[in-house]
Amino acid sequence: MTQSVLLAATQHATERPLHITLLGSPQLTVRGTPIALPRRQLRALLYRLAVAPQPVPREQLCFLLWPDIAEAAARRNLTVLLNQLR
């Protein structure tokens, strides 16, 4: 059995949602079209946000993705990554 997380891509009921499959080989589809995320950190960020029942603080995301760099640099990196994900 595959566990999936469904997120509403739009507010229109007629459009298909964003579908993320996390068990097995992770897959991302938008309106039925497979989407490839080329960067490993981008995929990690999306999957982490998808499974969170509550909003995730930026500090946690920064530490998860860049544990060895200064917080200011990690925040800049996170901002870039969030813009790419958008």
In this predicted structure, the answer to whether residue 11 has a pLDDT above a threshold of 60 is: no
Mean local confidence (pLDDT), 11-15:
46
Q: Any idea where the domains of the chain sit in the sequence?
A: 1-36, 37-86
Burial (Cβ within 10 Å: 0-12, 13-18, ≥19) of residue 24: exposed
pTM for this entry: 0.68
| pLDDT-derived band at 47, boundaries 50, 70, 90 | confident
Q: For residue 52, is pLDDT > 90?
A: no
For residue 5, pLDDT over 70 is answered with no
Mean per-residue pLDDT, 46-75: 92
Distance, in Å, from the CA atom of 83 to the CA atom of 59, rounded to the nearest integer, reads 17
Share of the chain above pLDDT 90, in %: 35
